[in-house]
């Protein structure tokens, strides 16, 4: 069995693709999605206890792999690992020993393929009635081939150091890797109702901090807690992460629906 254990999913997907009828191809889509999810989630778990599973357990693979890449920028690139046990003057000398191969999908390919498979697992939407998406066995075979390639990996590599810090807006835990600290990355709060962005500032070898310089926050009109609006466009609605009060942002902000003036106020 491979390190990802997706042989059964792939075997069923292959059989369905070979049958070629629409019903069989829809079943193949499901098996291929299971394969993608299994590989990505197993890879993410290699980060270990530093990142609680509660952070990503409900995420789809595309979002999970993007999180992984934020910690390990080369996590979606194939790697061959060889070692040389002998050195001369600090340089490798002698025979190299092959340890194994790490393989992973690119985020771009995963996003495209996962969404393509998903189109055929639901009823056609009303907007697609006139031209419903067509299942193509050749497209599914290409997706199958890439999953099979990644499934032949003999190594799962994870090299990172992850630290926890509190979101300055909602106080939920956020997590940053050593590479993010060194590069001064921008990270977002994982809380879906918050999503506040932070600049990671490397102070010295052992210390870092996070600030929101350049990002915008406003107090909730209902509860007074601050919430972020840097990604909110003019006229969009934004709910307070604390009390759920909805606000409309129009180069200013107010509760939604907008309160009507009383007769006394004119």
Tens digit of each residue's pLDDT (9 = 90 or more) over 73-100: 778 889 898 998 888 887 888 889 999 9
259 has a pLDDT exceeding 60: yes
Residue 266 has pLDDT above 50, yes or no: no
CA distances from 176 to 45, 47, 163 (A): 16, 12, 5
Three-class secondary structure of residue 231 per DSSP: coil
Label residue 128 by pLDDT band (50, 70, 90). Answer: low
What local confidence, expressed as pLDDT, does residue 179 receive? 83
Q: Which pLDDT band holds residue 126 (cuts at 50, 70, 90)?
A: low
Higher pLDDT, 186 or 41: 186
List strand residue ranges (DSSP E) for the chain, in order: 79-84, 87-88, 91-92, 96-102, 162-166, 173-177, 186-188, 197-202, 208-211, 217-219, 226-228, 237-239, 246-249, 253-255
| Closest C-alpha among 36, 255, 254 to residue 150 | 36
Lowest mean pLDDT among 23-37, 115-129, 177-191, 194-208: 115-129
Q: Per CATH, the architecture of 162-211 is what? A: Single Sheet (2.20)
Pairwise CA distance, residues 217 & 212, whole Å: 9
Residue 178 vs residue 194, higher pLDDT? 194
pLDDT digits 0-9 by tens, 242-257: 999 999 988 766 778 8
How is the chain split into domains, by residue range?
Answer: 7-76+106-151, 162-211, 217-255
Lowest mean pLDDT among 12-16, 40-44, 122-126, 203-207: 122-126
For a pLDDT cut of 90, what percent of the chain falls above it? 47
Average pLDDT over residues 7-17: 97
Q: CA angle at residue 255 from 249 to 259, to 5 degrees?
A: 120
More confident residue, 237 or 77: 237
């Amino acid at each position: 069995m491979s390190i990802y254990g997706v042989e059964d999913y792939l075997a069923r997907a292959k059989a369905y693709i070979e049958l070629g009828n629409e019903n069989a191809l829809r079943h193949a889509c499901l098996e291929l999605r299971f394969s993608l999810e299994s590989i990505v989630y197993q890879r993410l778990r290699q980060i270990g206890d530093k990142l609680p599973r509660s952070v990503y357990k409900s995420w789809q693979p595309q979002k999970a792999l993007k999180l992984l890449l934020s910690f390990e920028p080369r996590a979606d690139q194939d790697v061959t690992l060889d070692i040389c046990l002998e050195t001369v003057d600090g340089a490798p000398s002698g025979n190299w020993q092959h340890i194994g191969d790490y393989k992973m999908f690119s985020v771009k390919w995963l996003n495209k393929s996962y969404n393509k498979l998903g189109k055929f697992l639901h009823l056609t939407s009303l907007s697609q009635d006139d031209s419903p998406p067509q299942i193509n066995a050749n497209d599914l075979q290409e997706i199958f081939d890439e999953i099979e390639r990644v499934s032949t990996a003999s190594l799962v590599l994870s090299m990172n150091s992850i630290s926890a810090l509190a979101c300055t807006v909602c106080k939920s835990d956020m997590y940053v890797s050593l590479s993010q600290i060194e590069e001064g990355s921008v990270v977002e709060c994982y809380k879906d109702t918050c999503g506040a962005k932070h600049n990671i500032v490397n102070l010295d070898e052992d210390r870092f901090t996070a600030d929101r310089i350049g990002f915008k926050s406003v107090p909730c009109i209902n509860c007074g807690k601050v919430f972020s609006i840097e990604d909110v466009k003019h006229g969009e609605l934004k709910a307070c992460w604390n009390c759920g009060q909805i606000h409309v942002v129009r180069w200013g902000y107010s509760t939604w629906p907008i309160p009507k003036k009383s007769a006394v106020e004119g």
